[in-house]
Amino acid sequence: MKDYLIGIDVGTGSARAGLFSTNGQLVASAKRDIALFNRGPNLYEQASDDIWQAVCASVRAVIADAGINPAAVAGLGMDATCSLVVIGPEGRPLPVGEPEHPERNIIVWMDHRAIDQANRINATGHDVLRYVGSQISPEMETPKLLWLKENRPEIFARAEHFFDLTDFLTWRATGSLARSICTVTCKWTYLGHEKRWDESYFRAIGLAELASDDFARIGADVVDAGTALGTGLTREAAAELGLMAETPVGAGLIDAHAGGIGTVGWQDEKTSGSATSRMAYVFGTSACTMTSTDAPAFVPGVWGPYYSAMVPGLWLNEAGQSAAGAAIDHLVRFHPASGEAGELAEAAGVSLTQWLSEQAATLTPEGTDVALLADGLHVVPEFLGNRAPFADPEAKALIAGLDLDGSVDALVRLYVAGICGLGYGLRQIIAAQQAKGIETGTVVVSGGAGQSPLVRRLLADTTGLTVAAPATAEPVLLGSAMLGAVAAGLQPNLEAAMAAMSAVGETYRPGGGAMEAYHAKRFEGFELLQSVGRRLR
């Protein structure tokens, strides 16, 4: 009996595998770290061979931990960060940076080396840019490809394939060169609603070579997420993964989009709404918002609208911030009490941010709101720019209200202020989308940084919307497992898989009255700080 599905998620720092029953219940999970090379300001690289080995190790571990027969796995799906993978002749990696490190063939999603190229692309005003919020980001792939051509022309010329990381993984697993409509529409300017690349765009920005071979190097065959690829796992890949050859593999998703699939599609009698009334907020190293609509909505500074990029047949708007969990980690490390707090957290067996979250609850006087701990302290946590709604990669973080208090309690207050700052940034995105007709009823939060009840409570209060948590502890892995369910024919389509395999967990409703007014005033201060930052620049 084929009773199981595997979801694979490759984040910035690790590869993870989850084993699920066919109804979406998590059976076991495993994780392996991957290397991240930071060789200068905003320069981040990885190695595809290292990532593939971590994927294989995590899959083998989850099979061993669960004690199941690999033949019982019906299918698998994959998601990954939207990083650029460069592959040369015979499938070998080509270096994207220093020649002495040929294995480092990935420009990581968070790498901003292509800011100048992005600015020049935006200056063309090409019509394609309407589908990326009118401003392309240096995190997307065409600016990075242009950087590669201009700065490593010999590598650009030798490359046989340019992959989004998800598509590299499915190619490595199946041998199929098909690209997911999710990756190429969201990050490569493929026009999903017209099922075509715009040749004039590539010629206008200086990448005519990619158009001249009918886009073979970036994706001549584009398919919906969950589409069964090739004949499933090749014998070589199956042996490395510890699975059976020809196990079905579904076309993949970007990691945040897998989180959206795994969180917003539940159906039950106790809750209302649907995928089009729920915003997925995937809160990890970065933060991504996913909002689906029946008709396209053009929101300046918000990526999209993308057709079928997450839920087939629906339009997607994507926003968020390049640094979210990473921004909070960076923020708290500034404080003189971070070392002491880190030791206390280690002694308690929890992460520093989890410990700070728990301390915030203990410091809050009974009958008062935790946000009051941050009174007078304001944080705009834009350490890696503002992805949305301003599409400003050169924005910087600002803090107002610091004093000489170097205690652990002061660090807790700074932490709470930082979480509030992320919430106000989310509030801006929601407002920008609402102005263009996108109504959000519930924010469904997932990701490691969003697991704290305090964080969920603050997000509800700062945005003024109900925040829900998925029932599963691993919604991103579940989203990828759903791809495997569709590829294996266990579900007819992705929407059916979402309804059948996901469920809602705890919900957090925003506080009203005085606290609503309090957060409105703090939000006013947040926007004032942003405007001051722009003036200073």
What's the CATH code of the domain at 357?
1.20.58.2240
Task: Dump pLDDT digits (tens) for 279-325.
Answer: 999 998 899 999 999 999 999 999 999 999 999 999 999 999 999 99
Residue 459 reports pLDDT greater than 70:
yes
Q: pTM for this structure? A: 0.92
Of 200, 233, 253, the residue at which a domain comes to its end is 253
Does the pLDDT of residue 251 top 80, yes or no? yes
Looking at the fold, whether 193 and 334 belong to one and the same domain comes out as no
Q: What is the CATH number of the domain that holds 27?
A: 3.30.420.40
**Does residue 306 fall inside a structural domain?**
no
Res 403 pLDDT > 70:
yes
Amino acid type, 322: S
- Same domain? For 367 and 242 the reply is no
Both 119 and 223 in a single domain? yes
Residue 76 and residue 252 in contact, taking contact as beta carbons nearer than 8 Å: no
Q: Are 246 and 329 in the same domain?
A: no
User: What is the reported pLDDT for 274?
Assistant: 80
Q: Determine the pLDDT at residue 266.
A: 81
Given a cut of 60, is residue 269 above it in pLDDT? no
**Which residue, among 277, 275, 291, has the nearest Cα to 133 in the 3D structure?**
291
Are residue 229 and residue 289 in the same domain, yes or no? no
Q: Are residues 45 and 151 in the same domain?
A: yes
Question: Given phi > 0 = left and psi -120 to 50 = alpha, else beta, which region is 175?
Answer: left
Same domain, 197 and 327: no
* Residue 312 forms part of a structural domain: no
Write down the residue that tokens 């190695």 correspond to.
Answer: 47
Tell me phi and psi for residue 229, to 5 degrees. -100, 135
Q: Which two tokens stand for residue 212?
A: 């001249």
pLDDT(427) > 80: yes
In a domain, 278, yes or no: no
| Domain extent for 437 | 285-293+320-471+503-537
| Whole-number Å distance between alpha carbons of 72 and 488 | 12
From CA 60, how far away is CA 1, in angstroms rounded? 20
82: tokens are 């939207």
184 and 329 fall within a common domain: no
CB 109 within 8 A of CB 187: no
pLDDT digits (tens, 9 = 90+) for 175-228: 999 999 999 999 999 999 999 999 999 999 999 999 988 999 999 999 999 999
Picking from 511, 503, 25, 23, the residue whose alpha carbon sits closest to that of residue 271 is 503
Q: What pLDDT does 268 receive?
A: 62
Q: How many domains does the chain have?
A: 2
* Burial of 156 (C-beta count, 10 Å sphere; 0-12/13-18/19+): buried
What is the residue-averaged pLDDT of the chain?
A: 96
State CA 376 to chain mean position distance: 32
Are residues 109 and 220 both part of a single domain? yes
Average pLDDT over residues 216-243: 98
What are the start-end ranges of the E strands in 213-308?
222-223, 253-254, 278-283, 287-293, 303-307
